[in-house]
Amino acid sequence: MSQIDISGLPGKIQSNMPVNNEKNIKEDSSFENILTKSLKEVNSAQINANNAVNSLVAGKTENIHETMIQMQKASISFQMMMEVRNKLVDAYKEIIKMRG
């Protein structure tokens, strides 16, 4: 299986909180918060791509390259989100099998 570099994609899991505040780190790095933040970043990429396309179509901008880049960022981040979702569903199914 090949490895994929996701360092530049939206949804990158990092904590930008100060190291000296353990409570904030624990709250910020909970699975729910990480997942919510990632979903918001994917949604933001989709909105940015949609706005770029609308600006191009309306003639407000002529920079087709930037529009295509925004569309690709949105597409890749959405594909990544779907793969993570698929892995989570697979893991859940495996856990259910182990219980039975």
Residue 34 in contact with residue 42, Cβ under 8 Å? no
Query: Average pLDDT in the 44-55 region?
Result: 96
pLDDT above 80 (res 13): no
CA distance 100 to 90: 16
**Which stretch of 4-13, 27-36, 40-49 has the lowest confidence by average pLDDT?**
4-13
Query: Average pLDDT in the 49-76 region?
Result: 95
pLDDT, residue 28, reads 72
